[in-house]
Chains A and B, each alone.
Chain A
Amino acid sequence: MPPDSPPAAVAAPHPPISPPPSLIALFAAFATMSLAGFGGVLAFARRGIVEKYKWMTAEEFNETYALCHFLPGPNIVNLSMVFGSRFRGIPGGIAAFAGLLGPPVAVVTILGALYAHFGEIEALRRILAGVSSAAVGLLIATAFRMMMPLVKRRDLVGLVLLAAVFVAIGLFRLPLQIVLLVAIPISIAISFALRRKPAA
């Protein structure tokens, strides 16, 4: 793989705001952001990368995140790979990926072991029941927040697609692969058709 730094240094519209991070700095930064990230790492990653370390401008971060959001898989994990490899090639991607996942996986494995040994204790069962009820609420709130832009611009087509996926997966419990293999081509065809007549 050729390194991307030489063309980027010439063509970059912005002056480099910070020198590119080393492998150790990538690992440490993603480990720190990940361990701070309760309820999702994205907000902490944005603050760290754009404001604290100044490795990217806000626009560059948004572009990189948008790419990782439309690809399948955990978005922030994709972002760590894309971000790290932009600065230090594949080793950089692996360093950021390992920093993002390594420490939290260790923490959650310890919690999982504690749960396996003490999960039957009555007080712990009650606490976890309360936490899980609240956690579902957070998940539902996130889904509704993401839905609001579609509601506001009265995107009927989008809302119908959304509802169809909800019914197929949530109510009929169909396998994800089958639903997406049907829904993605339909959705792409509709988006493509709508883009071709910009007046619509």
Chain B
Amino acid sequence: MNEGGNPIWTLAWTFGLMSLFAVGGANAAIPEVHRVAVEVHHWLTDKQFADVYAISQLSPGPNVLIVTLIGYSVAGVAGGLVATLAMCVPTAVLAYYVSRLLARSSQSRWPAILQAALVPLSIGLMTASGLVVALAADRTWVAALVTVAAAGLAFATRVNPLWLLLAGGVLGFAGVIG
């Protein structure tokens, strides 16, 4: 099992490469995570992907934890650790070096230009994330309605997001969503 077929190695390589393209953070990378985990490698079904996304949102900590859960479902605890580190270490190292570089030449206007260039792209990725997870999670009209209601409440009010997640869970438990 030391060849290219080793799932741990596949996890490390896949998420390590993905992290360097994860413009806009973990939530913006969701469509790529879904594409790789569900469509390319068949590690999870669509339903499992939606479940894993829900669990990662119910857990405290950074949004990147969905990658931990995918790694875990592929190769247990070691898989979870490797996937998480692969997704986090390369960009953390990059951030360290870039921050030192910028500390020396703070007059450059490249950071402002880069930021202006990347913001629309990362919001486009986030919007695509919403669509991809919605297609995986919402199998019924009622489920889609719950999504729309949660989106509206979260957009228009300052209600703690955790309450909306719990409300969704209660509706699901009551069998409303089907």
> What's the interface size class on B, roughly?
35 or more
Dominant SS at the A interface?
A: helix
A73 touches B25 (CB 8 A): yes
A-B contact list, 28 entries, CB within 8 Å: A36-B60, A39-B161, A69-B25, A75-B25, A77-B62, A82-B99, A101-B88, A108-B55, A109-B80, A115-B55, A115-B69, A116-B73, A127-B172, A129-B51, A130-B169, A131-B57, A131-B172, A134-B165, A136-B138, A138-B57, A140-B134, A141-B151, A146-B122, A150-B119, A157-B120, A158-B119, A166-B128, A176-B29
Q: What's the nearest-Cβ distance from chain A to residue B165, in Å?
A: 5
Report chain A residues within 8 Å CB of B175: 126
Q: How far is the CA of A176 from the CA of B26 in the complex (A)?
A: 13
How many contacts between A and B, using CB within 8 angstroms?
Answer: 370
B126 touches A101 (CB 8 A): no
Q: Which residues of A79-105 have CB atoms within 8 Å of chain B's CB atoms?
A: 79-82, 85-86, 90, 93, 97, 100-101, 103-105
A76 touches B125 (CB 8 A): no
A17 at the interface (CB under 8 A from B): no
A93 touches B92 (CB 8 A): yes
Report chain B residues within 8 Å CB of A190: 117
Interface residue from B53, B57, B69, B128 paired with A169 (Cβ < 8 Å): B128
Report chain B residues within 8 Å CB of A128: 50-51, 54-55, 169, 172
Given contacts A138-B151, A150-B123, whether A38 and B146 have CB atoms under 8 Å apart is no
Dominant SS at the B interface?
A: helix
Q: How far is the CA of A134 from the CA of B139 in the complex (A)?
A: 13
Q: How far is the CA of A81 from the CA of B97 in the complex (A)?
A: 10
Given contacts A82-B96, A170-B131, whether A104 and B61 have CB atoms under 8 Å apart is yes
A101 touches B84 (CB 8 A): yes
Q: How far is the CA of A200 from the CA of B20 in the complex (A)?
A: 33
Report chain B residues within 8 Å CB of A78: 91-92, 94-95
Report chain A residues within 8 Å CB of B81: 105
Q: What's the nearest-Cβ distance from chain B to residue A113, in Å?
A: 7
Q: What's the nearest-Cβ distance from chain A to residue B24, in Å?
A: 8
List residues of B whose CB falls within 8 A of some A CB. Answer: 17-27, 29-32, 35, 39, 48, 50-65, 68-69, 72-73, 77, 80-81, 84, 87-88, 90-96, 98-99, 102-103, 109, 111-134, 136-139, 143-144, 146-155, 161-162, 164-173, 175-177
Q: What's the nearest-Cβ distance from chain A to residue B64, in Å?
A: 4
Report chain B residues within 8 Å CB of A80: 92
A19-27, A51-59, A181-189: which lies at the interface: A181-189
